[in-house]
Structure 1
Amino acid sequence: MPAVNFHVDAVLFDMDGTLVNSMAGLVGAWELFKQKYPDINVEDILSSAHGVRTVDNLRKYCGIEDPEELTSEALRFEMAIVTESTSKGRPGILKLPGVADAMQEMSSSRHYPNPTWAICTSATREYALAALANAGIHVPDAFVAAEDVKFGKPAPDPYILGAEKCGVKPANCVVFEDAPAGIQSGNNAGCKTIGLLTTHTKTQMEAAKPDFLVPDMSSVSLKLSQGGGVDVTVEQF
């Protein structure tokens, strides 16, 4: 299929599964939590929980309802992702294919007052900052973490706030996501969406109805436009 070119005012990135591969640490964290919550099924959780806030997953799968306990357990879980990512010979938290080139192009436009990209993650701020540091990715000024919104993905709140932090309308943004819940969030916000096949099956991602579906970031080229914003090229397959 021919490449598709379009222009946006800002690019809104998910983090886990989009910019970084933290799957080894995620598996380790759920295995660690199974010691305290023996009824959880790690395999089932991994097939459906990606892209959703940790507090929402812990409420659903571990039955935690107390707000203070949810907050403390979510932080414990997410920091376990960092520590477990390198335990037992695991590879750590790494950039996904194509991300290094994208970050090299976009890095200079990450600061206020006119950033052209944001990270909008379902992770807590503390974990997200640690994960990005581990992967060697600069944190943009426009940054949205789990605690910044009342409702997480698939609600539109994270991407609406991300567009707001970039000073642009959601309709003039493109979202990069690896999870159905994230694609739904971007669609609900009115953004253009690009799905990545890094953590879910093609069938799962197609069901969320992204505008484009590609293997990973290496199928997309981002170029800062001299007139502002970003020119996007999508190599369809």
Structure 2
Amino acid sequence: MKYVLFDVDGTLIDAVANQRQVWRTWAQQHGLDPDEVHQVALRTTPMETFARVAPDQDPRECLAALHELEDDDVRSGVYSAYDGASELLGALRPGAWALVTSNYEHRVRGRFARTGLPVPEVLVDAAAVEEGKPSPVPYLRAAARLGAAPGDCLVVEDAPSGVRAGLRAGMTVWGVNTPVPVDGVHRHFGTLRAAVRDILAFASGSPSPASPNTS
């Protein structure tokens, strides 16, 4: 049996503009340059971002303010599921797929409810593991909860840290929603829509085209 493990933001949900706005608002609240803060946030965890852009401020208070803004965005932000996400998730067998996110479960559920996407039985979020991506722990935890061997799992990701996590977990990793392949991916698709047929073929155990890159 084959299994599919999905990243969420940037893979199934288009939240790029939302994250940019959340960080912009946070930066303005703290008297910092929004563009500079966002560029740092793209490459680091929130706590690392605070250490670099606001070293004189309490990181716990910084994180609390960021979390409040993110929760507000779940309730009122404008975002959407990527084309193909609803069709893809609806076609997968229950118990054969999971979500693995660096976000928190309540936000994922809120966004999925607003975009009409189904939530699987297994959802591994930031609170479920001590080590986040690029550690392999989140993907290995999801596989264990599904009863899956790592070699039977396909990871679908858009971010370098997630790709590294999947590779370190010993899984097949496909990249989506990026103009060029993220280093290390076994296959690359420019959009999620372009990957739907092949992901479903993997999940069913059927052969799919062997080309490493698909536009």
65 and 44 in structure 1: CA distance in 2 versus 1, 3 angstrom threshold: closer
223 and 210 in structure 1: CA distance in 2 versus 1, 3 angstrom threshold: closer
Higher relative contact order (CA 8 A, sep 6+): 1
Q: What secondary structure, in the 3-state scheme, does the structure 1 residue paired with 2:86 have?
A: helix
Question: Is the 1:223–1:232 contact (alpha carbons within 8 Å) kept by the matching residues of 2?
Answer: no
**Cα separation, 2, equivalents of 1:15 and 1:191:** 17
Q: Over the residues paired in the alignment, what is the CA RMSD in angstroms?
A: 2.9
Corresponding position: 1:72 with 2:64: yes
Of Structure 1 and Structure 2, the greater helix share is in: 2
Please name the residue that 1:157 is paired with.
137
**Cα separation, 2, equivalents of 1:126 and 1:45:** 24
Please name the residue that 2:200 is paired with.
223
Residue 197 of structure 1: how far off its partner (Å): 2.9
**Cα separation, 2, equivalents of 1:209 and 1:164:** 23
Question: Is the 2:86–2:116 contact (alpha carbons within 8 Å) kept by the matching residues of 1?
Answer: no
216 and 64 in structure 1: CA distance in 2 versus 1, 3 angstrom threshold: farther
1:37-56 pair list within 5 angstroms: 37-42=30-35, 45-46=38-39, 49=42, 54=46
1:35-184 pair list within 5 angstroms: 35-42=28-35, 45-46=38-39, 49=42, 54=46, 57-58=49-50, 61-63=53-55, 69=61, 72-83=64-75, 85=77, 92-106=78-92, 109-110=93-94, 115-184=95-164
Residue 71 of structure 1: how far off its partner (Å): 5.5
Q: What secondary structure, in the 3-state scheme, does the structure 1 residue paired with 2:147 have?
A: coil
Q: Which segment is superposed worse, 94-103 or 146-155?
A: 94-103
- Aligned pair count reads 210
Q: Which amino acid aligns with 2:3?
A: A
Residue 42 of structure 1: how far off its partner (Å): 3.0
Gapped regions of structure 1 (runs ≥ 5): 1-7, 86-91
Residue 147 of structure 1: how far off its partner (Å): 0.7
**Cα separation, 2, equivalents of 1:209 and 1:194:** 9
189 and 61 in structure 1: CA distance in 2 versus 1, 3 angstrom threshold: farther
Please name the residue that 1:5 is paired with.
none
Q: Which segment is superposed worse, 74-83 or 167-176?
A: 74-83
TM-score in terms of structure 1 length: 0.75
Question: Is the 1:175–1:191 contact (alpha carbons within 8 Å) kept by the matching residues of 2?
Answer: yes
Question: Is the 1:144–1:162 contact (alpha carbons within 8 Å) kept by the matching residues of 2?
Answer: yes
**Cα separation, 2, equivalents of 1:134 and 1:24:** 17
Q: What secondary structure, in the 3-state scheme, does the structure 2 residue paired with 1:35 have?
A: helix
151 and 168 in structure 1: CA distance in 2 versus 1, 3 angstrom threshold: same
Gapped regions of structure 2 (runs ≥ 5): none
Residue 135 of structure 1: how far off its partner (Å): 1.6
**Cα separation, 1, equivalents of 2:205 and 2:73:** 32
Residue 38 of structure 1: how far off its partner (Å): 2.8
Please name the residue that 2:186 is paired with.
211
Question: Is the 1:15–1:121 contact (alpha carbons within 8 Å) kept by the matching residues of 2?
Answer: yes
Please name the residue that 1:13 is paired with.
6
**Cα separation, 1, equivalents of 2:18 and 2:127:** 21
After superposition, the C-alpha distances for 1:163-182 in whole angstroms (9 at most, x for unaligned) are 11111012210100011111
Identity of aligned residues (%): 24
Q: Which amino acid aligns with 2:22?
A: A
Question: Is the 2:22–2:73 contact (alpha carbons within 8 Å) kept by the matching residues of 1?
Answer: yes
TM-score in terms of structure 2 length: 0.82
